Structure 1
Amino acid sequence: MNYTTRARIQPLAIAILILGIADVHAQDFAPLPKTAALPGDTNEKIELGKKLFFDPRLSSTGTVSCNSCHNVMEGGDDGRATSMGVDGLTGPRNAPTVWNSAFQASQFWDGRAATLEEQAKGPMVADVEMGMLAHDQVIGRIKDIPAYIQEFQAVYGDDSDVTIENAVDAIAAFERVLITPDAPLDRYLARQKDAMSSAQIRGMELFESTGCTECHSGPALNGWRPDSEAEFAPFPRIPDSDYVTQYELTADLGRSNASGDSADDHHFKTPTLRNITLTAPYFHNGRVNSLAEACRVMAATQLDVELTDAEVADLTAFMESLEGEFPELIFPRLPSRSGESVIRAPAEKRQREES
């Protein structure tokens, strides 16, 4: 959208505000649901999933847990351009936040996992992440700890076995409690008009009128709505922008790496903007360090718009209104095995794996 088009829309926004019906300007958004729990997400299952989420023994070196890259003590990411896994190895992509990940139609930047459960399986056996050779090895680690077996039986039944399906089912149940409702935007949508500052309201209007809501709409500002199908947006849309070269935005083919379809080149899942102020650095490659710069990059490469400093300030103010209330988390005490480690020395580990 060009400046001329945007200029036609903004006076209408001002007029509606004067009329006192600013609700119209939030038509592309919706309050974040206060629960994402599914039937069967019992407290016992959630607690088991929490322990597995925090347990580094599910990695080959015993040093990397789900929380290592998706730190729920902060923004649900790790603050790195790309995450570091076992043995100091790094992958090619930035770790998305785990907060509000239940409100997505697919997981990973390229959408290669349809569900939270499917997503949880991947990093365990990725060589640059948790580095296990196979899911059987993960389950072997869990079975080596008697208290885990007891907890699995308590959640899934005495006759159930410790399986990878049950393990990721529990992890997903825990991740579904990681939601952050009641942000200023949510309160504003609930007609608490003083919940957002004037700068935040200006930023919201600019966000809509400039065209950002073509992708960033709905309760999580990622296009997701209940029962919506996964969608992927081209990035960058304006390939001749100077930002494309500066931040190497076309080095990663994105969705086509997962789909095998060249038509999906440079398509990515639209990330949530909830708590975006806490998840720098930005984009799939983590190359952009500040939110203000990310706004400039997105406007230029997606909408062919050059933002003024005042507009950037208003947009970042609006994004501050997306920081919700974080639930209180009590960190788990992980079960152990008395007198013997489940993390074996390298030589013993190789011998066991080869047998």
Structure 2
Amino acid sequence: MKHFIVSLSSILVASTLTLSAADLLSQAKDSGLVPLPKDQAGIEAMLKEYGVKFSAFSQEKAELGKKLYFEPRLSKSGLISCNTCHNLGLGGADGISAAVGHKWVANPHHLNSPTVYNSVLNSAQFWDGRAGDLADQAKGPIEAEPEMATPAKLAVQKISSLPEYQSEFKKIYGRSGVTFDNIADAIATFERTLITPSRYDAFLNGDDKALSKAEKEGLQVFLDKGCAACHTGVNLGGSMQSFEVAGKYKFADLGDFKGDANGMVKTPTLRNIAETAPYFHNGAIWSLTDAIKEMGSIQLGINISNKEAKQIATFLQSLSGEKPQVIYPQLPIATDKTPKPEL
């Protein structure tokens, strides 16, 4: 009888834990948290749901886009590529406070480079949300003087001067061939493959053992504190939200960025957040727990204790996902027609 009581007690404890995990999962989903799609078809379905533009996906187009993503000749200097500021080996960012561009000048607005991983599922691109999809976003840094400083006409001229690229563009895009729109579309197609599924996604998909007890406790604090009010959806961010709702950001004067015309700012994704310090639009905070406490103050109007910040940070560690293997491509050899770099 004693053995039966002990066994029954163990079953009841296990049942309670299971129910607790189920309740946490239900609460997370009720808060709008969504797992990553498992394939490109799932990404397309989600983009349609979000009203984000996209072109047809193909592996050939993604491979072309990968070359262009690593192509430094898309910059005026011939030194800067997309990967310079969105380094795939550094969490899809660059690990510095303000992006450094043409002539090694820091971003004049002191803006931090956001991660490119999972960015296809953001509903807005750029800190001020001025682009609605990755193809539009890809054009901006190429042409911007503080970044790659290459006018669209020159970008087309550079890529068109390389027969290997000409052949690939013709095969994929037909008669339109090498255009600035097609260059951006190919880069965006490659970026669609930069999805990083994590243990957090496994938990949302029903595996209650995917997160540790401490990570589940951190998720509960994250939800209880109201963090999911802005950090929600598939990317736990990526949409435009009001900033400084309840208080003043203590580093607001670093740089002149004030958001869009309505003071709205793109909420950073929390995916891989442990790998993408420094934080905030101006890269002013290097500690994840400090960033969490600052958000509590300026966005939620609450005090998040050191213990609570550490608990939330522990949960956020579970958002570090598996990165796709990306082999650095061999790029076409320049020809006599290829415009020379301008330093």
SS in 2 for 1:40: coil
Q: Which amino acid aligns with 2:142?
A: M
The equivalent residue for 1:33 is: 37
Distance 1:56 1:151 in 2: 18
Post-superposition shift, 1:249?
6.8
Equivalent residue number for residue 232 of structure 1: 240
Which secondary structure state, in structure 2, belongs to the residue aligned with residue 268 of structure 1? strand
**Equivalence map 1:142-291=2 (5 Å):** 142-157=159-174, 159-181=175-197, 183-222=198-237, 231-240=239-248, 244-246=249-251, 248=253, 251-256=256-261, 264-265=262-263, 267-291=264-288
Map of 2:134 onto structure 1: 116
Counterpart in the other structure of 1:55: 71
Which deviates further from its counterpart, 71-80 or 39-48? 39-48
Post-superposition CA distance 1:82-126 (Å, at most 9, x none): 110110111121111000001111100100011111000111111
Q: Separation in 1 of the partners of 2:105 and 2:66? A: 25
How far the C-alpha of 1:128 sits from its partner, in A, is 0.5
Name the CA distance, whole Å, in 1 between partners of 2:341 and 2:158: 14
- Matched residue, 2:152: 135
Which amino acid is the alignment partner of residue 36 of structure 2? Answer: L
Amino acid at match of 2:135: E
1:237-261: CA deviation from partner (whole Å, max 9, x where unpaired): 2235xxx2356379421112xxxxx
The verdict on how the C-alpha distance between 1:84 and 1:33 changes in structure 2, with shifts beyond 3 A counting, is: same
Shift of 1:190: 2.2
Cα distance in 1 between the residues matched to 2:165 and 2:209? 49
Distance 1:292 1:221 in 2: 17
Rounded Cα–Cα distance in structure 1 between residues aligned with 2:39 and 2:158: 32
Structure 1 vs Structure 2: percent identity of aligned residues?
Answer: 40
Which one-letter code corresponds to 1:342 in the other structure?
A: T
In 1, the alpha carbon distance for the partners of 2:251 and 2:282 equals 12
2:52 maps to: none
Aligned-partner SS, 2:119: coil
Structure 1 unaligned regions, length at least 5: 1-15, 225-230, 257-263, 350-355
Aligned partners of 2:226 and 2:152: how far apart in 1? 43
Secondary structure at 1:150's aligned position in 2?
helix
Offset at residue 50 of structure 1 (A): 0.6
| Equivalent pair of 1:236/1:249 in contact (CA under 8 Å) | no
CA distance in 2 between counterparts of 1:121 and 1:293 reads 34
Note the C-alpha offset of 1:233.
Answer: 1.6
CA contact 1:199–1:318 (8 Å) conserved in 2:
yes
Aligned-partner Cα distance in 2 for 1:249–1:218 = 29
CA contact (8 A) 1:288 1:294 kept: yes
State the distance in 2 between where 1:308 and 1:314 align: 10
Partner of 2:123: 105
The 3 A distance-change label for structure 1 pair 18 and 48 is closer
- Counterpart contact for 2:86–2:114, Cα < 8 Å: yes
Q: What pairs up with 1:312-351 in 2 under 5 angstroms?
A: 312-338=309-335, 340=336, 342-344=338-340, 346=342
Query: Where do 5+ consecutive residues of structure 2 fail to align?
Result: 1-15, 45-54
Report SS of the residue matched to 1:313: helix
Q: Residue 345 and residue 52 in structure 1: after superposition, are their counterparts in 2 closer, same or farther (change >3 A)?
A: closer
TM-score (norm 2): 0.85
- Alpha-carbon deviation of 1:74? 2.1
Separation in 2, partners of 1:250, 1:154: 44
CA distance in 2, matches of 1:49, 1:345: 21
SS in 1 for 2:90: coil
SS in 2 for 1:194: coil
Q: Does the residue aligned with 1:128 lie in a helix, a strand or coil? A: coil
- Give me the TM-score of the superposition, normalised by structure 1: 0.82
1:17: Cα distance to partner? 5.6
Number of equivalenced pairs: 311
Asked if 1 retains the 8 angstrom alpha-carbon contact of 2:127 and 2:281, the reply is yes
Please, which of 265, 268, 293 is the counterpart of residue 296 of structure 1? 293
Q: Tell me the distance in 2 between the aligned counterparts of 1:333 and 1:24.
A: 47
Maintained 8 Å contact 1:110/1:268: yes
